[in-house]
A and B are shown apart, each in its own frame.
Chain A
Amino acid sequence: MNNGKINRVKDTIFKYVGILACSIGLILLAIFIGNILIDGFSRIDLDFLTSLPSRKAEKAGILTAWSGSLWIVVLTFFISVPIGVCAGIYLEEYGKKGRLTNLLEINISNLAGVPSIIYGLLGLEIFVRLSKMGSSVLAGSFTLSLLILPIIIVATREALRAVPSSIRAASYGLGASKWQTIWYQVLPASSGGILTGVILAISRAVGETAPLIVVGALAYVPFTPKGIMDEFTVLPIQIFNWVSRPQHEFSINAAAAIIILLIITFALNGIAVYFRNKWQKKLS
């Protein structure tokens, strides 16, 4: 065999290794989702979505859990996105390269790796106790916002960096100020990337349990939140609670609740992807 042939064989081998690597995750996910669907799909009906939690598995529902999750996600979105995007813009466009910026950057990357329960403890002290918000939806949302801010900031910076410098140059060339350039050119051009980061961040927030338990999210709440100061529970807590019950019927409930959680996540992502595509088309 000559060199060329050997290289082609190596090429083919690597291709199949790559396919295998990609499919492992997908296959496991497919098995997992398949399993959950078999266990839980038949359990989902209107009653399940509109009933309060109960000790009887067949009567129990997730009304308080999914409405709590929805409140948390929407609030978290409105708190974290403006702060995260602004911080990203500052660091990328205004921040002078110096000690302070360096320090900020290192800290933000570090924060992205802090275990979520630590954020829970932080939230408990700052929001629940010092700010006297109590174990409310608002305190939970602020805590989750802290948790996902680093993700949003990093994604925003990446997206801003990817905007071609020709766009900036042209804008300045036409006499636009820095702010005008950012607002009218750079931000719209990078909105796709920013939104992708936001999607990832929000999806993470939907699935978090540990920090919310620390903040004081409850397991049994017989009412849906009416305002941002109400107490709440969320889907992951309800799922965890059911999974740890000995009776088999509760695992079926848990599977059904997982399906709902997946649907909520997919729906949120779907909305974000829709907006991303719409804005990107506008640009080109």
Chain B
Amino acid sequence: MKKYYFNLLVVTALMIFVGCSNNKTTNKDTETKDIKIDGSSTVYPITEAIAEEFRNVAPNVRVTVGVSGTGGGFKKFSRGETDISNASRPIKESEALLCEENNISYLELSVAYDGLAVIINPENDWVDYFTVEELNKIWHPDGQNTLMYWNQIRDEWPAEEIHLFGPGTASGTYDYFAEVICGKKVGTRGDYTASEDDHVLVQGVANDKYGLGFFGLAYYEENKDKLKLVGVDNGSGAVTPSMETVSNGTYSPLSRPIFIYASNKAKSNKEVSDFVNFYLSNAKDLVQDVGYIPLTDEEYNYEIKKFADFLK
């Protein structure tokens, strides 16, 4: 009994001691090099795929990827704690200022497109497309408790209640949709079924004839048989999102580029610059593998050139 407690104390003391002493001489192995990446969970699957493939090319480089979110990622990036930051939106002015204060310069590189799908139940046979104005009318905060029926959108649609589904307000997808449909800093109405889990939204619309929802295009692609995709008309005709319409920019405004930000550490650190180059030259196939839409070849080449200029 006595011995047990004694051992426990010794082990703990030892561990704390080792922890502190190890601290001062942070292990700088000459063999392995680290590349630290953090940021948006939207970009994460792409970066993970690239990091996985990069292991085959450079087995001695340890690439780690975190998911602190775009904002959290930039915070670490501006402190110099990471080499590359994943971002589902461009850097904010305040974040750019922080980088400047800490002498971190950076380069924004687009790596893929992310499309938002507006979807309805397959049994819904009255909706052919939405105009951006109609989507605005449906989702605008003013619509809360006033716009409740389908025939309030277009007269010929049924006098049935409309049931809305969308991501929760904490998600980047929500921010993006709210901004382009309802305007900056307006937000959307609050009386919709919100879930951070997009699978819940898929189930919701799939089981509700009068449902309407929006989420990432990849979720529609995985559940094509249960859902119906609706085209969006921004004034120049209704366009449904597809690989083609998203990447050539005609499916607007519900598609956006997603980014990685490379820090100036890439200039002195060959591993980081190798990784970014590998990223841009292999993104095309890998982006599709994980359900996003790649840029065109010219656009990737442009990004590669931009990065080469940045390194100079």
Interface residues of A (CB under 8 A from B): 52-56, 75, 78-79, 81-82, 131-135, 138, 183, 187-188, 213-214, 216-223, 227-229, 231, 237, 241, 243-248, 251, 279
Contact = CB atoms under 8 A, between A and B. Distances in A.
A187 B2 CA distance: 10
A247 B34 CA distance: 30
A213 B1 CA distance: 38
Nearest to A80: B12
Contact of B1 (A188, A243, A245, A247): A188
A284 to B, nearest CB: 15
Report which residue of A231, A237, A246 has the largest number of chain B beta carbons within 10 angstroms of its beta carbon. A246
Contacts of B52: 52-55, 222
B64 A78 contact: no
B30 to A, nearest CB: 16
Interface string B1-44: 11001001101100110110011001100000000001001001
A126 to B, nearest CB: 14
A30 to B, nearest CB: 22
Given A54-B52, A244-B41, A220 B64 contact: yes
Contacts of A82: 8-9, 12
A147 to B, nearest CB: 18
Given A55-B45, A55-B48, A79-B12, A133 B2 contact: no
Contacts, number: 106
B222 A246 contact: yes
B18 A246 contact: no
Given A55-B286, A82-B8, A229-B27, A241 B44 contact: yes
A137 B76 CA distance: 18
Contact of B197 (A54, A219, A243): A243
Given A82-B8, A138-B19, A246-B216, A219 B289 contact: no
Given A75-B15, A218-B65, A221-B64, A245 B45 contact: yes
Contacts of B1: 188, 279
B62 A229 contact: no
A231 B286 CA distance: 26
B290 A55 contact: yes
Nearest to A221: B64
B267 interface: no
B55 interface: yes
A222 B216 contact: no
Nearest to A82: B12
Given A133-B19, A244-B41, A245-B45, 4 more contacts: A241-B41, A241-B44, A246-B198, A246-B222
Nearest to A64: B64
B135 interface: no
Contact of A246 (B64, B65, B66, B221): B221
Contacts of A244: 41, 197-198
Interface in B46-64: 47-49, 51-52, 55, 62-64
A196 to B, nearest CB: 17
A240 B272 CA distance: 28
A129 to B, nearest CB: 9
B216 A216 contact: no
Nearest to B54: A222
A79 B215 CA distance: 43
B197 to A, nearest CB: 7
B67 A246 contact: no
Interface string B213-235: 00010110110000000000000
Contact of B22 (A56, A227, A237): A227
Contacts of B290: 55
Given A75-B15, A229-B23, A229-B27, A241 B64 contact: no
